[in-house]
Chains A and B, each alone.
Chain A
């Protein structure tokens, strides 16, 4: 593991401080095979409460497979996945997932779609608050078909956050958006993470995005973790800075070295 410090090591790091309600995630010896195709092999990973972790790697290297295991949508062939010490499948609304597509119910209003994230029945105040958070307070009664792609993805984010989860798992949530909307959404997710303090695990094919958002970036390949990069910082991200560009370059090298 290599660590790239943007700050002197002895300065206290904010991610650790704000992690009081984030979930901790632990994978031990996780393998997943599809018939003869061994996608993940003996993978170990610990994600600290409140950490923002990004997973990058070549297409088909098993990023989505890994994320589905963490989200409890799939079970490992061997090994264990735990969220706060319990099996991921029992995490309930402590764990929320955001997909590449918004996956809103077309026949439900925006507000009703957000309410899907609430397990204990509809709560108009919580829904309104979540919509406020993603800056769509006036769209509550719209149909999803009446929104733009970026707005739909923001509704999906509101749905994921309305239950105040401890872990947010994101599989290329911004992949289908245009570059400008993507930047806006990145800032939104980053803000949300800073405010709410959940643990975030993001799969992305955009290394710049991973570096801009994360506390740690791991490169997945050959069934395991090829390299890890800690990004320590305080204050707002300075996009396009020389340090970030250097980290980006190293991560890209690690991906292509595989």
Chain B
């Protein structure tokens, strides 16, 4: 669960050796999902797959509309999103701060890095029983787990990014009279940014994963709770709907970071002209 290693920043999108597709192809990536949906609907409508095993897309869509109109869906969605965001801000904030501190200060690194590397080897979801004992089944437990899960990818990638800033640029900055503060703001931080974004993307993935597990185990609101509740009453379409919603939220988060990434790294040759 905690196999989060640092990656080199997203440079793989350069056109490279692959021939580009001719003509317009904006809709092409959605052709396969559309075909699957259609086959699924047909399989359900012809009775090939029973509705009690897998409800049809049209049923799920109707349920989504109904729950949206009743406001139920947004309540659960809002609760889940708030938990995710709070965990991200806390865990990501601490991870970023510690990553910067340990990247910049040798004392700080010597003091904390070994400890953190040891803790990293504990799968954070293995802590669930302990966390429930500590925090009960309230918000605290979920916040703690999400924050812990998000912490490591952001910490590791921030540290990695800062450590790997081009030392020649730092020497240049010094030679041109930059103060330590200026050096950090103008050279170190922008240089570490691509790696920090990689950490953020990983962190977002872990954030949703942790939240799903935590909400499924113990909650009285949120998407995971909605799914568990529906399972108890055998309302299959709601179960599938909540799964799809998790997928959509994950995709949304990824799209947002990609856009952010692209904005912040517009100087990079990997993004030139895109």
Instruction: Assess whether B175 is in contact with A119, with CB atoms less than 8 Å apart.
Output: no
Determine which of B173, B177, B187, B269 lies in contact with A93 in the assembled complex, contact meaning CB atoms within 8 Å: B177
Write the chain A residue with the least CB distance to B168: A103
Whether A92 touches B267, Cβ cut-off 8 Å, given contacts A103-B168, A103-B169, A105-B187, is no
> Least Cβ distance of A172 to chain B in Å?
14
Contact partners of B269 in chain A: CB under 8 A: 145
Contact partners of A97 in chain B: CB under 8 A: 175
Instruction: Assess whether B267 is in contact with A107, with CB atoms less than 8 Å apart.
Output: yes
Instruction: Assess whether B272 is in contact with A99, with CB atoms less than 8 Å apart.
Output: no
Interface size class of A (residues with CB under 8 A): 20 to 34
In the complex, whether B134 has a CB less than 8 A from a CB of chain A is no
Contact partners of A72 in chain B: CB under 8 A: 175
Please report A residues at the B interface, Cβ cutoff 8 Å. 71-73, 92-93, 96-97, 99, 101, 103, 105-108, 116-117, 119, 143-146, 159
Contact partners of A146 in chain B: CB under 8 A: 272
Write the chain B residue with the least CB distance to A117: B176
Instruction: Assess whether A103 is in contact with B172, with CB atoms less than 8 Å apart.
Output: yes
- Please, how many residues of chain B have a CB less than 8 angstroms from a CB on the other chain? 20
Q: Could you mark each residue 257-274 of chain B with 1 if its beta carbon is under 8 Å from any beta carbon of chain A, else 0?
A: 000000001011100100
B187-206 CB contacts (< 8 Å) to partner A? 187, 190-191, 193
Instruction: Assess whether A106 is in contact with B175, with CB atoms less than 8 Å apart.
Output: no
> Least Cβ distance of B241 to chain A in Å?
43
Contact partners of A106 in chain B: CB under 8 A: 267-268
Whether A73 touches B176, Cβ cut-off 8 Å, given contacts A105-B187, A107-B190, A107-B267, is no
Instruction: Assess whether B267 is in contact with A101, with CB atoms less than 8 Å apart.
Output: no
In the complex, whether B5 has a CB less than 8 A from a CB of chain A is no
A107 to B176, CA, bound (A): 17
In the complex, whether B174 has a CB less than 8 A from a CB of chain A is yes
Write the chain A residue with the least CB distance to B193: A107
In the complex, whether B186 has a CB less than 8 A from a CB of chain A is yes
Contact partners of A101 in chain B: CB under 8 A: 168
Instruction: Assess whether A73 is in contact with B174, with CB atoms less than 8 Å apart.
Output: yes
> Least Cβ distance of B120 to chain A in Å?
30
B152-197 CB contacts (< 8 Å) to partner A? 168-169, 171-178, 186-187, 190-191, 193
Whether A116 touches B176, Cβ cut-off 8 Å, given contacts A105-B187, A145-B272, is yes
Contact partners of A117 in chain B: CB under 8 A: 176
Of B173, B175, B191, B272, most A-chain CB atoms within 10 Å: B175
A73 to B176, CA, bound (A): 11
Contact partners of A159 in chain B: CB under 8 A: 176
Contact partners of B191 in chain A: CB under 8 A: 107
> Least Cβ distance of A15 to chain B in Å?
26
List 24 A-B residue pairs with CB atoms under 8 Å apart, sorted by A's residue number.
A71-B175, A73-B171, A92-B177, A93-B177, A99-B168, A101-B168, A103-B168, A103-B171, A103-B172, A105-B169, A105-B186, A107-B190, A107-B193, A107-B265, A107-B267, A108-B186, A116-B176, A116-B186, A143-B272, A144-B267, A145-B267, A145-B268, A146-B272, A159-B176
Contact partners of A103 in chain B: CB under 8 A: 168-169, 171-172
> Least Cβ distance of A248 to chain B in Å?
31
